[in-house]
Structure 1
Amino acid sequence: MKLLRLPLIVMALVLGACSTVSITNQWRDPSWAGPPASSVVVVGISRSDVMRRIFEDTFAQQLQAAGVQASASYTQIPPGSGGSVRLHDLVKGSGAQAVLVTRVQRVEQKINVTPSGPYYGGFYGWYGGAWASTPDIQQYEVITLETSVWDARSEKLIWSVTTENVATNDIPKTSTQLAQTLIPKLKADGILR
């Protein structure tokens, strides 16, 4: 019995390990000389206003905890694509030196099939057990996010990454994981102070 549980335990560990954010691609403008930003406006692109608010608040809180002044865009910009003029006013009025924008790039369905074959010896025992056993099937979604940082003065893209994570409905947790992955990278790359 214990051997039959082993694939389930291994699968849970594999999916648990995948729940962290991983950077899959990164770009930094080699001509951008800085200085690193100490003030940021956070923008989340989402059709759900609730998800946007949760993301922006969580990421802004993480930036503030890391010593960077941050504000959420939803406080002054309504949802939808018509807010570009108000975004410009928000960035200018806040004195932000950078704008951090995150959007969903894609969501992929993944299926992981783990055979749960028999664990006893000999071909005939294996053959009989193979008919009786069924594989463990795990279905999950992998979400790819694109996070870009724009220089507020020049209005040019200066830094961009794509990240992957196992999708979850826990937006605060996912936003915190993303921030905790990206903020140290942004500081190390000289984008943030």
Structure 2
Amino acid sequence: MNLSRLAVLAVTTLVVTACASVSVTNEWRDPGWSGPPASNVLVVGVARGDTTRRIFEDTFVQQLHSAGYQAAASYASIPPGSDGSAKLGELVKHTGAEIILVTRLQRVEQRVNVTPSGPGYGGFYGWYGGAWASTPSVTQYEVVTLETSIWDARSEKLVWTVTTQGLGTNDIPKATQQLAATLIPKLKADGVLR
């Protein structure tokens, strides 16, 4: 197997397997917001592609249901390609949502990691031959930064927001499950969810 194929295999493996972690990089909570904690959530995914939006919203809603919360996806009432502002208010009333969870992509960064592999031992001549034979390991990957905001449906004010980072993947359901697994406990601990 030549080095370029090996590098592609390593990158593919890294992207598929390493997307298992999502980390919170920044967070803010309105110090003046006293709740009460919510049990009914409207989920809004901001995406250019309607398929991506639907998959994200359905998956996050399912994760909220699994955690014992009421939740609804916005796509059923807000058509693709429109800002949906007028219909959003109607949807909040119709679903009884207490908070609105909105997630949007902030940026995608391409990163490269070069790890040199050292030459072997065995004196200068063994070291010198090993130095020529060894090649560095190069991996390329994407880091995806998302912003998730919570809006109080009653006051229409922003009450909580975080940015998260994770490795890029084309598996939207899995990435959404990982995001939900990171955010739902945090929302509960911060008193935003019951």
- CA RMSD after TM alignment: 2.0
Unaligned 5+ segments in structure 2 are 1-8
In structure 2, what residue type is equivalent to 1:185?
K
Q: Is the 8 A contact 2:120 2:126 kept in 1?
A: no
**Equivalence for 1:98:** 99
**Residues in 2 aligned to 1:170 and 1:82: alpha-carbon distance in whole angstroms:** 26
1:133: which partner in 2?
A: 134
Q: Runs of at least 4 residues of structure 1 off by over 3 A?
A: 15-19
* Deviation string, structure 1 residues 99-129 (Cα, Å, up to 9, x no partner): 0000011100110111122222323322222
Aligned in 2, Cα 1:52/1:168: closer, same or farther, shift over 3 Å? same
- Residue deviations 1:120-179, cap 9 Å, x none? 232332222212221110000000000000000000000000000000000000000000
Alignment of 1:1-193 (within 5 A): 16=17, 19-193=20-194
Q: Given the two structures, how large is their TM-score scaled by the length of structure 2?
A: 0.89
- The share of aligned pairs that are identical, in percent, is 70
TM-score in terms of structure 1 length: 0.89
How many residue pairs were aligned?
184
CA apart distance, 1:18? 6.0
Unaligned runs of 5+ in 1: 1-7
How many angstroms apart in 1 are the aligned matches of 2:53 and 2:128? 53
2:111 partner SS: strand
Q: Supply the distance in 1 between the matched residues of 2:111 and 2:41 (Cα, whole angstroms).
A: 35
Deviations 1:2-21 (A, max 9, x none): xxxxxx99xx78x9556300
Counterpart Cα distance in 2 of 1:54 and 1:173: 10
